[in-house]
Structure 1
């Protein structure tokens, strides 16, 4: 695809931006070009679909050693991976292999250890299992990289006093879903991402970890300091001592911090790419994410075929808890089963999941819109603004979609 308009309905794009966009999305495209372009080694991509039809598919910048960003460039989407892992579980539930209100231990008998026999699938999906703590299950990076070990440790673990209370399971969420899915299917999450998500949707743009040999998708290298300040002696000491603190600071440190974990991101071939971390190491293109969430925004339909039942999509849209999240400093996450809502204009009726650095996938069933946004910047200086990318992407996407709908209605009236 070119950045030169080839038809009246396709806009000319700013210099350095590739892809296509309807003219009504000019403000979104220009903002994307300004905020995501022009930084050495950094780049990103943004896709907006309506009922699966592309309205915007654009990219800009560089993907590190992978070269210029293109339509087949994927990025590590960190916690946005959780939405994909949750969709795997919903696919299994849709076929009657799981019941949301059944105990996890019914399917995964080892999980009943240490008083967990009543924890339900619904509680796990909505971050209420009381199993968010890393220090309770892992002693360092080598153990965290062993996803089968993490599944076993969580099966044996004891929930803490926040069982039943929304408390972000930053990394453990993925291993919990993986253990449950493995108990039901006998397969790991990397395989299930392929067989339950990518293949049924006909997309190459969704992977767990490094894309397999032969895949057209390349993983962008990280640009920035990769948050290595977390590993400094003073920060590490502080966070380690915070484990025992009451309230949100203690919960956040236990959910997010383990000494040495920052080495996950080190080097040109970071270890995060070579494990199964269904809470944090999805490698996706923007179009891959928009394709997945497009099915969720369209009542479970994709290209005229049923991906999920309407009943399951209805269950996915439901907010499970309005209580403030104890590990995210009492932010009102409005957890769904595997997703969250956002108090952002253009996002009120939708759901999806944002990851570290701001990459996200989003569905709005009322309008049929789906959005995928990915990039490779990860540095302290840009973290706050990048994390809030949804606050400009979603309102501008909704505004563009409304303008495009008005244009289409006018064209139909003229034709009639």
Structure 2
């Protein structure tokens, strides 16, 4: 047994040793502070592994962590539940629920357009303030009065405003914030340790850390394609409202307490994997019916992303396999996050997976750790 093997805690089912080896290899890398990996296959937990520290002690099954944009997959599950209850129609115009949204040429935008990053509202043209972003509702009002930057038809990643729009949509339907509805309809009934905003931010989750080594090419690409004024910069900073690095901004109490369904979800590894397992058709006590699930994960937008600059694909809130979102299988759905978190389900393989690292990747769109783990999964159960 190697030294790194001794600091990897947890269990794997027989035959899943390649995944343990892959996880151990990741944890032996420079700058890795801690991580959890949980995999459910055909309804059975087959991998439950932890390594490193959560900042106050060993990283374990109860460690709560911010998952950044993997929050979008969590929020998408909540929206699917509303659709399954008959409260939301993905194919209806947004104005059915939010009449003011139809101003400035947006009356034809459907809920599916909005949730698949086709609304063209990555940031207000005048920019936004941090207070507007954290409150959410003022920013939603501003976005409702904006013309779309592009017509629907091609995706343009709404890094932060996706959550603002989804939160306001839920408020118009239910009267509550998305995080509140998530807790009431999804998490509390199933004992899932997952939350977005509000009281769930206390006690604080485990902090995340920036990558220790960023390759020159990644730095150069960021300097060129994410410079102020570019679509990436607009989307990621909401037009300059977010000035701090993500690891600092998301660790602030006011950020954690805000309702930001695109960015500040908090989860444990076990609960995130279980959420995706509950979404798979045929699972025991599924979260939604198969018809709703198919509507939620059906490709709604594909093509060269107007923000990311590479091909992306989306369902109603879920990222789908593409160059931007490498999910390990052509039938997978889920969402990664800029911090390295990954949650996904794969109905063909009966797979649900969650990986939550405390160290951010050098390149969020090409996290080598995801490739390492997903390749190991494929070695065990096939492509």
TM-score, length of structure 2 as denominator length: 0.86
Q: Structure 1 residues 107 and 48, CA, compared in 2 at 3 Å: closer, same or farther?
A: same
Does the 8 Å CA contact 1:290/1:371 hold for their aligned counterparts?
yes
Q: Structure 1 residues 340 and 212, CA, compared in 2 at 3 Å: closer, same or farther?
A: closer
SS at match of 2:131: helix
Q: Distance in 1 between matches of 2:331 and 2:250?
A: 39
Instruction: Tell me which residue corresponds to 2:104.
Output: 114
TM-superposition CA deviations, 1:51-86 (whole Å, max 9, x none): 33210011111122x332111112211111111111
Task: Out of 31-40 and 120-129, give the one that drifted further.
Answer: 31-40
Matched, 1:183 2:172: yes
Instruction: Tell me which residue corresponds to 1:83.
Output: 73
TM-score, length of structure 1 as denominator length: 0.80
Task: Out of 93-102 and 30-39, give the one that drifted further.
Answer: 30-39
Q: Distance in 2 between matches of 1:237 and 1:391?
A: 24
Matched, 1:252 2:232: yes
Instruction: Tell me which residue corresponds to 1:279.
Output: 262
Q: CA deviation at 1:137?
A: 6.2
SS at match of 1:221: coil
Instruction: Tell me which residue corresponds to 2:277.
Output: 294
Q: Rg bigger for which structure?
A: 1
Matched, 1:339 2:339: no
Q: Distance in 2 between matches of 1:388 and 1:254?
A: 26
TM-superposition CA deviations, 1:222-253 (whole Å, max 9, x none): 2237999xxxxx9699822xx2xxxxxx3222
Aligned pair partner of 1:355 in 337, 340, 344: 337
Does the 8 Å CA contact 1:116/1:158 hold for their aligned counterparts?
yes
Q: Distance in 1 between matches of 2:277 and 2:114?
A: 25
**Unpaired runs of at least 5, structure 2:** 215-221
TM-superposition CA deviations, 1:347-399 (whole Å, max 9, x none): 111111111132111111012110001111136xx446972432222231233
Does the 8 Å CA contact 2:211/2:360 hold for their aligned counterparts?
yes
Q: Structure 1 residues 201 and 402, CA, compared in 2 at 3 Å: closer, same or farther?
A: farther
Q: CA deviation at 1:162?
A: 4.1
Q: Distance in 1 between matches of 2:333 and 2:231?
A: 25
Instruction: Tell me which residue corresponds to 1:231.
Output: none
Q: Distance in 2 between matches of 1:352 and 1:20?
A: 24
Aligned pair partner of 1:23 in 14, 29, 42: 14
Task: Out of 190-199 and 258-267, give the one that drifted further.
Answer: 258-267
Instruction: Tell me which residue corresponds to 1:222.
Output: 208
Instruction: Tell me which residue corresponds to 1:58.
Output: 49
**Unpaired runs of at least 5, structure 1:** 4-12, 229-233, 244-249, 404-416
- Aligned CA RMSD, in angstroms, stands at 3.1
SS at match of 1:363: strand
Instruction: Tell me which residue corresponds to 2:95.
Output: 105
Q: How does 1:144-155 map to 2 (within 5 A)?
A: 144-155=133-144
Does the 8 Å CA contact 1:51/1:297 hold for their aligned counterparts?
no
Aligned pair partner of 2:149 in 160, 170, 180: 160
Matched pairs, number: 369
Q: Distance in 2 between matches of 1:400 and 1:212?
A: 36
